[in-house]
Structure 1
Amino acid sequence: MMSYYKIRIIICFFMPKNLLQLLFLLATAIPISAQKKTSFDQICEKTTVVTSHKNLPAAFKTADSLYITAQTSQEKIKSLILSSELYQYSGNFKKAIGYSESAHSLISQIDNTEQMIYICRLLARQYRQVGLYERSKKYIVKGLESSKLITDSQKSNEMAGLLNQEMAFYEMELGNYSNAIQDIEASLEFFEKAKISNKSKTIAVSYQALGDIYFKLNDYLVSENYYRKAEALLKKGSCTLGLIYNGLGGIRLKQKNWKEAEMYLKKAEKIADTSRSLKLRKAVYSNINDYYEDIGDTFKASLYAVKYVRAYDSITVRNQEFFTKNPENTINKTVKNGGLNIVKNVAIIILFVSIIGLIIFFRTKEKKQRSKLRSIIRTRQQLAYGSKERLEQSSHEIEFSNISVEEIEEKDSDADKKRNESLMTSETESKLLELLEDFEKGNLYNSKSMSLSFLSGELNTNTKYLSYVINQHKSADFKSYINRLRINYIVDKIINDEKYRQYKISILADECGFSSHSKFAAVFKAVTDFSPSAYIKHLDSENQADKDVRFREND
């Protein structure tokens, strides 16, 4: 039998490029070619139930490859619905609704009532969750009309029950609790006609919704009764169970039963913390905040207030893009139009002036930076070409003296400085200055073990004397003095040895004794106003400009 690799070589040799790209896409996802063993529907189901929870990026790839390889409109619709549900699961409602609308458009072109009902319910839920309630209701009504066309009475009743359940959630969002109760009761009647098991999670959702409604109506006895019914039908860890525990905790808060309130809210929090549902988190954190406020623990109350605000803000951010794009969600739009036009015009003028100001600011700053760079280059080149003058107070060294970066070792207090001054003879001070001159001519300051005590040992003196001399005669403390020498050293290397411009920044940092790339970059920028890479780039451009000038003069 021909090996896999031989077959792959033959395919790569004869196949066109576009087909090869398609095959590569399929290879990165779950193998669609294995359709002999597993159907399109089974792959969709596996991706929804298993892959999406273990590896969401892989699930997105699978959904995309399913759409590419879909042979029929039905398969394309299923893959679009899969993508929509995955994006909803990830919290990206914009893309989720986009895929749902694409599926709805495709379903409208074929005759598939059951798929139409499913996508209408999906869109109704998604639009409700982003606050577009009228669009949500539109799809609920369309779904209910379609449910009447199903000839299978069991399926028809089940679909009608789910859509009435969704209508109840819509009414609850608007505060129409009496209508919501009627819709939930209708949903339960349809589920009974459809012979849905009393152990069903679907029925538990209806009971939980009734618990929420009666809680809002302050009928805590009836509310708890429905919560208990819902709890009995659910397994541990579901989002609905989290809402039930939060509701029971809320009831206990109203009854001032702090012990049981804490117990239920802890159960709700455990589910909320592992759930992707922002609605659940927001509700749970709000109740826990109320609990700690009621028992007088203001510190913990503030912690949960922060968690609540974060969940609330996340919902607001998620919904904002839909509100800003849809006229049905704006209030008094016609009244505001005139004012908006004026605001827009003023904003455009302000923006234009700001842009001009920013351009002038950055050009001025760039000129100053280039002037400073040229000054540093000229000074360092003069030193490299043999100038023996000590420019202790030259412009660039004044700039180096203001470094406040890497901590190398201890500082002395003002009292110590004065005391050392009175104890140290002028001969000792002069000798130390000579030793420091010799020290500056070498490269010992680049040692990573450099410290005040280390250098004192090298110069055969004590740390107090050395610290005093550096402070008095070098206009810097010890750490700034060493960093100044290190930066002078590496600037010399970059200017006068082109190979240093090819090195990585981490190598330059190591060369002059800095313990990390980031500390070196911070020092370098504080001194030159450039990052090391930008400094090298500007230096190269300056050198090229000089070459161009000499070239034209020679002409």
Structure 2
Amino acid sequence: MLKRFFLYYFFCITVHLAYAQEKSFNQRYVEVSVSLIATDVQAALQVSDSLLSVAKTDEQRAKAYMLSANIYMNLGEQALAIRQVMQADEIVEASLNSMWQATTKGFLSTAFRQIGLIKAAERYINQAEEANNRTTGKETYTLTKINIFHERAMLSMARSDYETAKLHVLDAGRLIVFDHHEDKRSSLIKATNHQLLGLCYLHLDSLKEAEEMYLSSLSEIGDVESNLIPYIFRGLAEVSLGQDSLGKARMYLEKAEPYLEGSKFKELEEAVYRTYTKFYWKAGEIDGAMRYGNLLWEIRSEREKEIRKVSDALFEEMYNTKESYRDKFKITLIIGLCLAVSTIFLTLYLFFLSRTRSTHHIVAKQKDESVTSEKTEFAKRDASELREINISKETEQRLLKDIGRYEERLFFLDKDISLGVMARLLNTNQRYVSYIIKKHRGKDFYGYVQAYRIQFIIDRLKADPALLDYKLAHLAEMSGFTSLSQFSTAFKTETGLPPSAFVHFRKKELGRC
């Protein structure tokens, strides 16, 4: 909840307190971060690129990278966003700029929390607080402290600890004291604090207090365009459902829905669809509940795949960087050792060179002949395989149509099904079957059967909620697996979740746990 919005202003609040000599740069920066990023994110990205090109100081370059990171996060490009903020982090670490160290560390905390790396997020928020403590007495200190409390609240919510989250938000609220000349950013901070408090009260079943905080948050925002608004409407819809006021719940959901059009905020879609599902179940409209339940599951699956992809890319990049430094150290060490013993190796080489010249020529010739022979053999093998897969178009279409018929008959539920059995059923050879499935289904035969089995049991669980109470071993049996362990492994491979977790989330969606 509110993941994108926090990157909208998180740890960038200090920009309006920048030095007077940077006024022109900062005016454009504030314009992008406050307004343009919420209305035209592509135009905002172009401006951020231009700001980077004209940046003259380390602080300006750090700001430009941070702005790009914020924009990329709004575009759903999490890996690019984290790379940008790491560039900024390198600059502020080298320049010993504590204020911007707090900014970059805080952003990283938010970004890692979003992809589920809670321990990494906690480490960065601790570093952000340490950096901010070094700025005590500066104008930016209190504002950054507020943001740190907000991020700690979000981390507590990620662990479903809403009591602790509420305490963090209340701590932040005690620091939010502005004069009568509040700007848009100050109002958004107040609105965010009220919204977070409303979210805490909602999960703590204090519906009246939650409603008051949400409405207060809307009042603070006023006519400012903000990504926070649909989250508030969704929260008010949840409150209305808790109060059994279906009419108000529908009204608030309809107000949130326009923000989904063309939105890249998948977590916003997930939140709204989850509330829609609850609404339709409570209204007794099963078709609507199932429709939004399916949409919710699709978004969750898509987000989980995206998060795994981002996580893999980030860790791969970090690992490669670490290995690069390690390799450079090893190379330096090896070069030093080589220089120390170069005379010995050179002497030995010259001594044996004359004695081994003739033998070396013989070995080299044999090696060349061996390589040539291997290449010829590989070429023959490839040509042979191409000839074997030289299937006519008519045969390919016929077999593809027959495979489709067997899919409709749920052949994959047969525990004894194999590539050989399938080939006999289709009255053809195994290579043809393997080729067609690989080409038209995008998987090898084993992966193809596994995917169809898992999709079958997911569809059954969605269509018949009574199956959610069956033992996992029975579900494995229904979907054609010979053991629970095979079923669990296949289920997690295809969905990213173990079957027990899927069943739990499905029950939760249906309000049964």
1:480-522 superposed Cα distances (whole Å, 9 cap, x missing partner): xxxxxxxxxxxxxxxxxxxxxxxxxxxxxxxxxxxxxxxxxxx
1:395-424 superposed Cα distances (whole Å, 9 cap, x missing partner): xxx99xx9xxxxxxxxxxxxxxxxxxxxxx
**Residue 230, structure 1, aligned to residue 217, structure 2:** yes
Q: Say whether the 8 Å CA contact 1:238–1:271 is kept in structure 2.
A: no
- 2:201 aligns with 214
Change (3 A) 1:219 1:228: same
2:387 to 363, 374, 383: 363
- 2:96 aligns with 111
2:171 to 176, 179, 186: 186
- 2:303 aligns with 315
**Residue 297, structure 1, aligned to residue 313, structure 2:** no
Q: Say whether the 8 Å CA contact 1:161–1:189 is kept in structure 2.
A: no
Shift of 1:54: 6.6
- 1:5 aligns with none
- 1:272 aligns with 260
Matched AA of 2:62:
I
TM-score, normalised to structure 1's length?
Answer: 0.50
Secondary structure of 2:177's partner? helix
- 2:134 aligns with 149
Matched AA of 1:235:
G
How many residues align structurally?
311
- 2:189 aligns with 202
- 1:281 aligns with 269
Q: Hey, what's the Cα distance between the residues in 1 that align with 2:101 and 2:283?
A: 51
- 2:330 aligns with none
Shift of 1:52: 5.0
Matched AA of 2:109:
A
Shift of 1:310: 3.3
- 1:254 aligns with 242
**Residue 99, structure 1, aligned to residue 84, structure 2:** yes
Q: Hey, what's the Cα distance between the residues in 1 that align with 2:214 and 2:177?
A: 19
Q: Hey, what's the Cα distance between the residues in 2 that align with 1:119 and 1:322?
A: 19
- Pick 1 or 2: higher relative contact order, CA cutoff 8 A, min separation 6: 2
1:399-456 superposed Cα distances (whole Å, 9 cap, x missing partner): 9xx9xxxxxxxxxxxxxxxxxxxxxxxxxxxxxxxxxxxxxxxxxxxxxxxxxxxxxx
Q: Hey, what's the Cα distance between the residues in 1 that align with 2:22 and 2:170?
A: 44
Secondary structure of 1:137's partner? helix
- 2:369 aligns with none
1:72 to 53, 57, 61: 57
Change (3 A) 1:223 1:296: same
- 2:71 aligns with 86
Q: Hey, what's the Cα distance between the residues in 1 that align with 2:284 and 2:383?
A: 55
- 1:15 aligns with none
Shift of 1:75: 2.7
Task: Give the % identical residues.
Answer: 22
Change (3 A) 1:292 1:64: same
- 1:263 aligns with 251
Shift of 1:90: 0.7
**Residue 164, structure 1, aligned to residue 129, structure 2:** no
TM-score, normalised to structure 2's length?
Answer: 0.54
Change (3 A) 1:320 1:178: same
Secondary structure of 1:126's partner? helix
1:39 to 24, 28, 35: 24
- 2:117 aligns with 132
Shift of 1:53: 5.9
Q: Say whether the 8 Å CA contact 1:273–1:281 is kept in structure 2.
A: no
Q: Hey, what's the Cα distance between the residues in 2 that align with 1:127 and 1:186?
A: 23
Q: Hey, what's the Cα distance between the residues in 2 that align with 1:227 and 1:360?
A: 70
Shift of 1:318: 2.5
Which has the greater radius of gyration?
A: 1
Q: Hey, what's the Cα distance between the residues in 1 that align with 2:128 and 2:22?
A: 35
Matched AA of 2:290:
S
Q: Hey, what's the Cα distance between the residues in 1 that align with 2:382 and 2:239?
A: 58
Shift of 1:169: 0.6
Q: Hey, what's the Cα distance between the residues in 1 that align with 2:219 and 2:308?
A: 37
Q: Say whether the 8 Å CA contact 1:239–1:277 is kept in structure 2.
A: no
Q: CA RMSD in A?
A: 3.6
- 1:465 aligns with none
Q: Hey, what's the Cα distance between the residues in 2 that align with 1:170 and 1:308?
A: 23
Q: Hey, what's the Cα distance between the residues in 1 that align with 2:181 and 2:113?
A: 26
Q: Which runs of 5+ in 1 are unaligned?
A: 1-35, 328-355, 373-397, 403-555
Change (3 A) 1:176 1:268: same
1:326-346 superposed Cα distances (whole Å, 9 cap, x missing partner): 88xxxxxxxxxxxxxxxxxxx
Q: Hey, what's the Cα distance between the residues in 1 that align with 2:35 and 2:112?
A: 26
Q: Say whether the 8 Å CA contact 2:38–2:226 is kept in structure 1.
A: no
Shift of 1:68: 4.3
Q: Hey, what's the Cα distance between the residues in 2 that align with 1:160 and 1:37?
A: 24
Q: Say whether the 8 Å CA contact 2:78–2:310 is kept in structure 1.
A: no
Shift of 1:291: 1.0
Matched AA of 2:26:
D
Change (3 A) 1:290 1:54: closer
Change (3 A) 1:118 1:320: same
1:211-263 superposed Cα distances (whole Å, 9 cap, x missing partner): 11121122212222222222221236533222222122112212322111111
Q: Which runs of 5+ in 2 are unaligned?
A: 1-20, 316-379, 399-513
Matched AA of 2:234:
N
1:132-531 pair list within 5 angstroms: 132-152=117-137, 154-192=139-177, 197=182, 200-235=187-222, 238-273=226-261, 275-324=263-312, 361-366=385-390
Q: Hey, what's the Cα distance between the residues in 2 that align with 1:166 and 1:195?
A: 26
Q: Hey, what's the Cα distance between the residues in 2 that align with 1:38 and 1:148?
A: 26
Q: Hey, what's the Cα distance between the residues in 1 that align with 2:22 and 2:192?
A: 36
Change (3 A) 1:238 1:357: farther
